[in-house]
Chain A
Amino acid sequence: MTFILLLVVLLAAAIVAIAKLLRGSMQHPSNLSQLLDELEPFNLAGFRHIASGVDDQYLKKKLPSREYRTLRRIRLVAIYAYYKSAFRNSSLLLSYGHGLSKATDPELSAFGQQLSTAAIQLRLVLVRGVIGIFFCYFMPLEIPYWRQITERYDGIGMHLKALSDMHAPDLTVAVSNHFSS
């Protein structure tokens, strides 16, 4: 019985993986402008505000526990939505960085590697953050890793600003708008 259960789970996962491969994961942004078009909006200041525990402590003191719990659940859903956007964006940034690292220009290639490293670090913190959010639904914990996420996202913004300053000055404003903190 255990084996049948394991087998069914494994086969279901394999079918999902095959379906994912059939759909393809082939969209790679080929330039900075395309990358900016495909990035989902991520308001860093808004995220910081909603994830920090300052408001939470205040509301916990002032509101009846039932209302507080409802409000906390809504807050967690909003944070999860932010994480989902950041997840998608980190994948695009990884893909763009990987493509840049193959450029013939050594400066661009080095920049691509730096961007890839920063994006994968953001991704790893996001994975931990999403797992943490799951536990926050059941336990009265503070939102985990939100500081690291904002720092890493900000760092990537700085990287892209430097790139646009050097190679695409007309995109600097768009980069600044997306990564404004």
Chain B
Amino acid sequence: MTLIYSCSLLPIPVLAATAIVMYRRKQHRLYPVFWANLIFQFSRVTVECIAYRTSYKFYFYSYWTASACSVIFSLLLLRSIFLTMLRGYSPLSWLRRFGYEAILLAFWGLALLVTYHNYGGRTFEQLISDAEQAVSFTAVGMFVFVVGSSVVLGIRWTSAICGIALGVGLLGTVDLVVYAMRSHGYWLSSVAVGWIETITYNCVAAIFAFYFVPKREEIPVPISVRPELLQWVNGVRGALSK
């Protein structure tokens, strides 16, 4: 068993533990898309590890199918963060309704334009890298948009939302760097790509576990009515009713 193969097995127990802890705390109801993503990532790593030992063809198709699904999950996660962030602010309902989709379309158009504007003479491997580059460009663009809009609007996040966004952002950014380098013919060996992707993926699994496994206090609900005041008010009410 190679070292990189052993490293790629590490996220399996971490993702499983995170999903189980979330389920036991009923957090899967609070973050349904994220929980579904954890289950998907767990299945993905397991299937890829089996496929790697079985046949190259099986591994190839499972890897690229899972990569495409992973990007879709990233976009869904960012959308859910965006909608959660803007929930409860009536002056921003127009942004909540159309903002994400409009910016997604803009980034997708830009990604296609810059990836395929000067096309021709591409190898099959470069075609795959181009496609991955376009989708990761869109995912990173959406990540920047979601974090940027939170900064501009001054809306603070809970630790859970920070953890989800951090994981998604890190994975997308590293993917974009790797695929852009490969797509533009910069030398980057398959072994180096494998290591970069594996280490990043392990870091992301660790980030998810770090933000979700230890019990964390979400936003504290302000207690404006202090107990002694409440007692005093009740006392006055009691005196008045007599």
Contacts and interface: CB of A to CB of B under 8 A. Distances in A.
Interface of A: 2-4, 6-7, 10-11, 13-15, 17-18, 20-22, 24-32, 35, 87, 90-91, 94-96, 98-105, 108, 113, 116-117, 119-121, 123-124, 127, 163, 167-168
Given A21-B165, A120-B92, A29 B222 contact: yes
Q: Is the interface of A mostly helix, strand, loop or mixed?
A: helix
Contacts of A127: 152
Q: Report, nearest first, the 3 A-B pairs whose CB atoms are least far apart.
A: A91-B154, A17-B147, A30-B220
Contacts of B169: 14, 17-18, 21
Given A14-B173, A116-B88, 16 more contacts: A7-B176, A11-B140, A18-B169, A20-B151, A21-B162, A21-B166, A31-B223, A94-B155, A95-B219, A98-B88, A99-B222, A100-B222, A100-B224, A102-B219, A103-B221, A123-B153
B221 A102 contact: yes
Contact of B89 (A7, A24, A108, A120): A120
B91 A27 contact: no
A129 B157 CA distance: 25
Contact of A124 (B91, B220, B221): B91
A3 B166 contact: no
B231 to A, nearest CB: 13
A2 B157 CA distance: 34
A163 B223 CA distance: 12
Nearest to B153: A123
Contact of A13 (B144, B150, B152): B144
A10 B106 CA distance: 14
A124 B165 CA distance: 24
15 contacts: A7-B180, A10-B144, A14-B140, A18-B170, A20-B147, A21-B147, A21-B165, A22-B166, A27-B156, A28-B220, A98-B155, A103-B222, A120-B91, A121-B91, A168-B226
Nearest to A112: B222
A127 B176 CA distance: 31
Contact of A14 (B89, B115, B144, B151): B144
Interface string B131-154: 000000100110110011011111
Nearest to B141: A10
Contacts of B240: none
Contacts of A87: 154
A10 B239 CA distance: 66
A12 to B, nearest CB: 10
Contacts of B115: 3
Interface of B: 88-92, 110, 114-115, 117, 137, 140-141, 143-144, 147-148, 150-159, 162, 165-166, 169-170, 172-173, 176-177, 180, 184, 219-226, 229
Contact of B166 (A18, A29, A31): A18
Contacts of B88: 98, 101, 113, 116
Nearest to A130: B152
B172 to A, nearest CB: 7
Given A14-B173, A22-B166, A120-B92, A99 B140 contact: no
A168 B229 contact: yes
Contact of A98 (B92, B137, B170, B219): B219
Given A101-B88, A116-B89, A25 B144 contact: no
A167 B229 contact: yes
Interface centre among A14, A29, A99, A103 (most CB of B within 10 A): A14
B71 to A, nearest CB: 15
Contact of A26 (B162, B172, B222): B162
B148 A13 contact: yes
Contacts of B151: 20
A70 B117 CA distance: 48
A141 B114 CA distance: 38
Nearest to A90: B154
A167 B92 contact: no
